[in-house]
Amino acid sequence: MQVNIGKAPTIDLLGEHNQSDRVCVLVINWNGKEHLRKSLPTILRQEYSPYDVWVLDNASTDGSTDMVKNDFPGVLVLRNERNLGFTGAGNLGILRARAHGYAYVLVMANDVVLDPRCLSGAVAAARANPTAGMIGFNMLGAISTTPFIEYENAVKNWAGLEIEETKWVEGAAFLTSPALIERIGGYDEILFMYGDENDLETRLTLAGYRLLKTNIPVWHDTGRNVMGDQKLRAAYYVFRNTMILRTKHGSWREVLLDTLGLVRCGCDPFIKVSTDSVLGRRQRPSNILVNALVIVTALLSYGLNIRGILRVRRDHRKLIELERRVLERGQYH
């Protein structure tokens, strides 16, 4: 089987798979019962074998786990005793998948709908491109709300697998190697949620891996998940994590400039911020006074955690250098 960057109209997506190609789909959930009802059927209809599906539940209180056990008995539910965030639950799932010998994991949020060819296409891309660190999809709804009919049309009009190199893979659904993610240090758990994929992707690219994107459509119910109803909490993580990411991968000058930029977006009445996009709504979730309070809270959290942030930055830089050497030796995943 051969896949090249660019259009690959003759590829056999099903191909010949064996135990060495086992995939574990990790669905991270927190109070997303109704989203799971839509998402899980599309995961279970994948044109690929062998694969398993795990729901990593962050102490949901909405009956999510009971619903999955009753309505989707083939899905394994792993319930955490408290909410570990996307990052904590993701790390536990990836480490467990690695221990069970899965070659790949598809990490995804609970509000994503998959085309049936997602696993087969992503694995085909991964097998043909061993220096790919993460493989994403044509995610409709990655930045702004997208009607479901647009996804249905994209599925209907799909004409064959195409793969391209990209600078960013949307973190709501991507395929990767659990062994690689473990070696690179996993998710940075202080981020909890938002920006976690940016941090992971930056470390992978610094180590020499590429980010790939396939044209297989998926749909993300952006802005209508649980955090869509918690605008201030979402804004807090965006403000705080932006500063953390700049501290880990940028300069102190960039930290200052980004902080000033966030303050202006949230509090300057003379700056117009579009609330049509999810990011815009998170940058200006409420009135100026409330936004200022959110920013101050984020700054306090950042300051209180700065020693831990710098320690993790140091540790991750060491892992990046070690992985770069692994890649240079051609050992890959």
Taking only the tens place, the pLDDT of each residue in 45-82 is 999 999 999 999 999 999 999 999 999 999 999 999 99
Cβ neighbours of residue 8 closer than 8 Å, sequence gap 6 or more: 160, 161, 162, 163
Q: So what's the pLDDT on residue 3?
A: 44
What mean pLDDT is predicted for residues 143-148? 84
pLDDT given for residue 103 in this prediction: 97
3-state SS assignment for residue 24: strand
Whether 331 maps to a domain, the answer reads no
Q: Please count the other Cβ atoms lying within 10 Å of the Cβ belonging to residue 80.
A: 16
Q: Is residue 153 part of a domain?
A: yes
Q: Are residues 148 and 209 in the same domain?
A: yes
Looking from the CA of 310 toward its CB, the CA atoms found within 13 Å total: 7
Q: Examine the fold and report which residue of 210, 226, 242 is the final residue of a domain before the chain moves on.
A: 226
| Shared domain check, 256 and 215 | no
| Least confident piece of the model among 125-134, 238-247, 278-287 | 278-287
What three-state secondary structure class fits 221?
coil
> Residue 281's pLDDT is what?
75
181 shares a domain with 285: no
Residues 6+ apart with CB under 8 A from 139: 112, 170, 172, 173, 217, 218, 219, 220
On whether both 235 and 116 belong to a single domain, the answer is: no
Query: Is there a single domain that holds both residue 178 and residue 241?
Result: no
Write the DSSP symbol of residue 268: -
What pLDDT, on the 0 to 100 scale, is given for residue 14? 46
Residue-averaged pLDDT of the chain:
90
Reported as a single tens digit per residue, the pLDDT across 275-332 is 666 777 788 888 899 999 999 999 999 999 999 999 999 999 999 999 999 998 887 6
**Domain identity same for 297 and 204:** no
Q: Residues 27-44: what's their mean pLDDT?
A: 97
Last residue of a domain, one of 226, 256, 272: 226
Long-range contact pairs involving 293-296 (C-beta distance under 8 Å, separation at least 24)? 294/232, 294/235, 294/236, 294/239, 294/266, 295/239, 295/262, 295/263, 295/266, 295/267
Per-residue pLDDT averaged across 261-288, rounded? 81
pLDDT of residue 1: 32
Q: 12: pLDDT confidence band, cut at 50, 70 and 90?
A: very low
Average pLDDT score over residue span 115-125: 97
Whether residues 245 and 286 fall in one domain: yes
**Residue 330: inside a domain:** no
Given its phi and psi angles, is residue 194 left (phi above 0), alpha (psi -120 to 50 degrees) or beta? left
Number of folded domains in the chain?
Answer: 2
> Mean per-residue pLDDT for 83-87?
97
Are 102 and 22 contacting, i.e. CB atoms less than 8 angstroms apart? yes
Helix residue ranges per DSSP H, the chain: 33-44, 64-71, 85-99, 118-128, 148-156, 178-184, 196-206, 231-249, 252-267, 278-283, 288-304, 306-328
- Burial (CB count within 10 angstroms: exposed 0-12, middle 13-18, buried 19+), residue 217: buried
Spatial contact of 46 and 118, defined as CB atoms under 8 Å apart: yes
Is 91 in the same domain as 190? yes
pLDDT at 282: 80
Confidence of residue 110 (pLDDT cuts 50, 70, 90): very high
Asked, for residue 325, whether it belongs to a domain, the answer is no
| pTM (predicted TM-score) | 0.91
pLDDT at residue 2, rounded to an integer? 39
- Domain extent for 237: 230-308
User: pLDDT tier at 15 (50, 70, 90 boundaries)?
Assistant: very low
| Among candidate residues 211, 226, 241, the one where a domain is terminated | 226
